[in-house]
Amino acid sequence: MIPENLAHRHMTAQSPGRRMTTAPGIMDRARLVTPPSGLNPTEKQEAHRKLAIMCKWLEQRLHKPLRLRRGRSQRYSVDVFECVSYRVNPKARRVEVGERRNGRFHRRQIKFEIGRPLSTPRWLGIVINHLGLYGDVCDPEDLFSCETLPHFAHEWIEETAYRLLLRSPEFQVLRAEHLPASLGLPQDLLRIARAARTRPHGPWLDSAAFNPVWKNARAFRHVAQENPRLLPLLLALCDTLPAETTIHVKDPVLAIKTAFRDAGRSEAAWRYVTRDMVEWEDYRAWLKAGGVPDPEEVIIPPRWPDLDAARADVWAACRLRRDALEAAGFPYLGHPLDSDPRAVQRINTAVQAAQAATQAGQPFAIGWTCMDGHVLDLDAAGMIGMPVALAMHANALHLAARQFKARIAAALGYGDLEQIEAEIAGTWAA
């Protein structure tokens, strides 16, 4: 049996301090919605059928929407609803979003929000494709007369399903807490990346805008402290560099100025770009006559006010990462097993049955399905050994967290803490 305190930690790993239940009513609400106008009766019936299929599929997976897959060299993937996959490489400082199909990651060309994940219905297109709902519509009375469901009907399915999901407390916690914590992306760099966009559109931030900032984190943090208005220029400078090239200069602002002047811009133009906001208020009226738009003021506060706050922030990130890994699976007899709260309940129940059979002198056998699809044929001893492996796995993670805590306390500067933070976001050797 799993010790009571360890079992409780697994039961609350995904939602500390709160008790979650699967939000009912998504399917019921889906039956009540009205398909959009502009569809013929057959298309309306088909759109409603596809919406019901997708809502039922999503609702069944709300209790366990995430799966963490570990790779080599600290790489890992976070799968959402089985098919939407975020692939993170902390060593290369890169994140990609794509589709998990037949166990393989397929990168999608369309852009996805990573700053505030699942904040738009766009990702539901992957779910529709995963469920094979992009097929033709056939009149049941004339199977030889089939037509494709209009594109706006699929958009209606995505938007309607998303509105229904937003009513689910579990989905709200998933997109606001669990998924961002599992991704482990530096929050200050996400804010800097939003400020570096040349054409901001609210909070929207895709990986194409974030990856250069993550790769050149020191340069972007330096510029954000000195003059955040230069962040779009630094991002543009990154776009001119060869692939896999990073900015390694002591003064990135000087590097921006050099590139700015090399592009044929004058010293006066550089002074205009770097003009402080007090002078800009007086200068704006003159610029308006030339049709120059007012620039958006960007204020990036310091990431940490002091070293103690930095240590507390990194340690909080470490605890979130530890809990996410603890509930993401554990190895047993050469195969990965689930360790989310429901899986822990099933393990406890099966262990109780194995112990009862042993005490009664009765045989015990069970087939346990692993995360990789393999089935372990276990007797009583094999079943009783499973929570022992789970406890050892959890203990190794907590030991690693304590080691991180000691290093955080001993860190002498922000650079040391940023390095520890990057290791925390990677794959732990548990």
Q: What is the pLDDT of residues 283-307, one digit of tens each?
A: 455 555 564 544 455 566 677 888 9
219 SS3 class = helix
pLDDT digits 0-9 by tens, 321-340: 898 888 889 999 999 999 98
Q: 220-231 as b/e, with b when 16 or more CB fall inside 10 Å?
A: bbbbbeebbbbb
Give the DSSP H or E segment for 151. Answer: helix 151-165
Tokens 């992009």 belong to 134
244 pLDDT band (50/70/90 cuts)? Answer: confident
**Running DSSP on this structure, what letter comes out for residue 327?**
T
Of 199-203, 343-347, 415-419, which range is least confident? Answer: 199-203
What are the structure tokens assigned to 276, written together? Answer: 């402080």
Give one DSSP letter per residue of 350-402, joined into a string.
HHHHHHHHHHTT---EEEEE-TTS-EEEEEHHHHHHHHHHHHHHHHHHHHHHH
HSE (CB half, 13 Å, CA atoms) of 79? 19
Q: Which residue has the tokens 């229904």?
A: 164
Distance in angstroms (rounded) separating the CA atoms of residues 32 and 46: 15
- Tokens 């958006």 locate to 296
Could you tell me if 221 and 188 are in contact, meaning their C-beta atoms sit under 8 angstroms apart? yes
Encoded amino acid at 307, one letter: L
- Among 295-304, 372-381, 405-414, the range scoring the smallest mean pLDDT is 295-304
Q: Is the dihedral of CA 424, 428, 429, 430 positive or negative?
A: positive
Q: What is the mean pLDDT of residues 163-184?
A: 88
Sign of CA dihedral 374, 378, 384, 389: negative
Closest CA to 297 of 310, 284, 313, 312: 284
pTM exceeds 0.75 for this model: no
Q: pLDDT band at residue 202, thresholds of 50, 70 and 90?
A: low
> Could you tell me if residue 23 is left (phi over 0), alpha (psi between -120 and 50 degrees) or otherwise beta?
beta
DSSP for residue 178? I
Q: Following DSSP, what letter does each residue of 39-61 receive, concatenated? A: --HHHHHHHHHHHHHHHHHHHHH
H/E stretch holding 415 reads helix 414-425
* CA–CA distance, 154 with 160 (Å, rounded to integer): 10
* pLDDT for residue 275 is more than 80: no
Q: How far apart are CA 77 and CA 69, in angstroms?
A: 5
Looking at per-residue confidence, does 45 or 283 come out higher? 45
* Pairing of β 330-332 and β 335-337: antiparallel
Q: Where are the alpha helices (DSSP H) in 227-340?
A: 231-240, 252-262, 267-273, 277-289, 307-326
**Which whole number is the average pLDDT over 268-281?**
59
Output the CA–CA distances (angstroms, integers) from residue 354 to 103, 184, 248, 338, 363, in the order listed: 33, 38, 60, 19, 9
Calculate the average pLDDT of the chain: 81
Rounded to whole angstroms, how far apart are CA atoms 27 and 204? 29
